Amino acid sequence: MYLQVERNASQETIRNYRSDIHQLARFLQRTKKDAAPIRVEEVTRDDIRAHLHNLDQQGEKASSLARKLACLRSFFRFLVREEVLRTDPTEILRSPKLPKPLPRVLTKDDAAALMEFPTEPSPLPLRDRALLETMYSTGARVSEVVGINLNDLNEADGIVCLRGKGRKERMVPIGDLALQAIRQYRRSLKPPARNGHLSSPMFLNHRGGRITTRSVARMVSRYSSRLVGGAVSPHALRHSYATHLLDEGADLRSIQEMLGHASLSTTQKYTHLAMDQLLAVYDSAHPRAREAASPLPGKDRKSS
């Protein structure tokens, strides 16, 4: 209830928290000498450290370990706050260091090509086209785009309401091509889906219910696998949206608001992405960009 009511956590987040806590309980039960149920008051820092070490030995990724530790921290802090526990066993545990690779960004040509891959004039391909256009047009997270309802879209003003982390709402511009793709998709549906209640989901699965984030991820992977660079995740469309806006002169504050970032520092990573692209263009196009790789006069050359 705390996660759902006070923190406005999504159902997916709640499922992950429940799974991570149960995973710790199962590990402790396996390693316990007697068969008595595990009591939360008995869990120690060494228990949690041993659990994380065991997951690491099994090949769990550092990002997954960090997420699981963050979940356990939140759980035990809650128990301390509710005075169920006196001390927090996760208090001085350190998260694993995570690599920070720059996210993959599609070129503008690849982004345009991706939008064109769904071609059949039937509901599911038209839905896929509308989803791709909407994600690239708005920079929406995959969880946000599947959460769009019919009454969230204001076609007249070209604006859509997105519900981000913590259920925070923000209004984001949506382009004409995305609106056109949505109209074509909705027109292809048979009643009552097309004329559903305004709070009905915008994007439907084949059974008429709301499409899931996993289905969207599979769809994006399937179409993007045709690109030269291979398949991408839905988040790559969000990165591409921000980087392409920056390339075209949009300021960071505006991009921050449209992405729904709480901190400008989160948005600033896109300046690095844009710089990487500029350097790549420079290296390939400038006549003296690779001069350093050529032999200098009088060095390593045979005299004629």
Question: DSSP secondary-structure letter at 2?
Answer: I
Q: Choose the catalytic residue: 45, 67, 210, 235.
A: 235
Q: Is 270 a catalytic residue?
A: yes
Structure tokens at 249: 């002169």
159-163 and 169-173: which strand pairing?
antiparallel
Q: Which residue has the tokens 């990724």?
A: 61
Q: Is 186 a catalytic residue?
A: no
Q: Is 235 a catalytic residue?
A: yes
Q: Choose the catalytic residue: 51, 129, 141, 239.
A: 141
Q: Which residue has the tokens 């526990």?
A: 85
Q: Which residue has the tokens 């008429």?
A: 208
Q: Is 223 a catalytic residue?
A: no
Q: Choose the catalytic residue: 68, 238, 239, 244.
A: 238
Q: Choose the catalytic residue: 127, 129, 239, 261.
A: 261
The answer to whether the CB of 182 falls within 8 A of the CB of 130 is yes
Q: Is 206 a catalytic residue?
A: no
The most distant pair of C-alpha atoms in the chain lies apart, rounded to whole Å, by 89
Burial of 296 (0-12, 13-18, 19+ CB in 10 A): exposed
Q: Is 165 a catalytic residue?
A: yes
- Closest alpha carbon to 246 in 277, 285, 224, 283: 277
Active site residues: 141, 165, 235, 238, 261, 270
